[in-house]
A = this chain, B = another copy of it.
Amino acid sequence: MREEPWEPPAVLVAVDLVILTLRASALHVLLVQRGVEPHQGELALPGGFLQHSGEGLLTAARRELREEADLDAARLHLEQLGAYGTPDRDSRGRVISVAYLAIAPGLPEPVAGTDAVGACWMPVDGVLAGRTRLAFDHAAIVADGVERARSKLESSALATAFCAERFSISELQLVYEAVWGVRLDPRNFYRKVQGVRGFIAAAGSDRRTTGGRPARLFRAGPTTVLNPPLTRPDPPQASEESR
């Protein structure tokens, strides 16, 4: 760091959240409708400015998670995505946003206790395809978050963060299929997942059923890096059908 005689410019720092979850086998992101200008009424990521100059970035992310989504950060996966600082991204002046990615298990239904106007889960497909328009550069941030989730499913135990505390192997498979957008063979998936040491651990011989044979239940294991990794099958060779 070099020092110079001039004063460096002070900027505003916001923290925005990309909260992903699985609903009806599709990946969804939590969006709020903005109550004030700029971009009033438009959809945006939940977030807000640093509250006081002693607040850490991660602390602020956890606070927003609680305030805007009524989610308990202690139970969620939460990691930093990156900083977004294009000069003209916010008409109020120089605002740099530090984005965080959170993964939530499928919640009962609507997001309760939200103090933002109209929070809702939106399918990410629409956002990625540009059909769902977002304020600021938030669509790009969502795209980065989804891409991060897709790639981390391969090499980390992130998938368990989409599940409730106890889950069956086929529920875990649904996570992979929804996030990657592929179909997997349940039988091979079953053994593959069990073959990764520390990924999942048997959780009581308890079992609930939905019509067939009851499934064994598991909970997230101690491992966070998958070894061997679960490899994503390459999409079926887009030939003339593409685009």
Which of A's residues lie within 8 Å of B, judged by CB?
A: 1-3, 8-14, 16, 34-36, 44-45, 47-57, 67-68, 80, 82-83, 85-87, 93-94, 96, 98, 115-116, 227, 234
Q: Are B35 and A14 in contact (CB under 8 A)?
A: no
Q: Are A50 and B227 in contact (CB under 8 A)?
A: no
Q: Can you name the residue of chain B whose Cβ is closest to the Cβ of A47?
A: B1
Main secondary structure of the interface of A (DSSP, over half): loop
Q: Are B68 and A83 in contact (CB under 8 A)?
A: no
Residues of B within 8 Å of A82, CB to CB, are 80, 82-83
Q: Are B56 and A85 in contact (CB under 8 A)?
A: yes
Instruction: Using A1-B47, A2-B35, A116-B2 as known contacts, say yes or no to A55 and B13 having CB atoms under 8 A apart.
Output: no
Q: Bound complex: CA of A52 vs CA of B86, how far in Å?
A: 13
Distance in angstroms from A35 CB to nearest chain B CB is 7
Interface centre among A48, A68, A96 (most CB of B within 10 A): A96
Q: Bound complex: CA of A51 vs CA of B34, how far in Å?
A: 31
Distance in angstroms from A45 CB to nearest chain B CB is 8
Number of copies: 2
Residues of B within 8 Å of A55, CB to CB, are 87
Instruction: Using A2-B48, A10-B11 as known contacts, say yes or no to A57 and B83 having CB atoms under 8 A apart.
Output: yes
Residues of B within 8 Å of A115, CB to CB, are 2
Residues of B within 8 Å of A57, CB to CB, are 83, 85-86, 96
Q: Bound complex: CA of A56 vs CA of B137, how far in Å?
A: 14
Instruction: Using A35-B2, A83-B57, A98-B83 as known contacts, say yes or no to A11 and B50 having CB atoms under 8 A apart.
Output: yes
Interface centre among A13, A14, A52, A68 (most CB of B within 10 A): A13
Q: Are B14 and A12 in contact (CB under 8 A)?
A: no
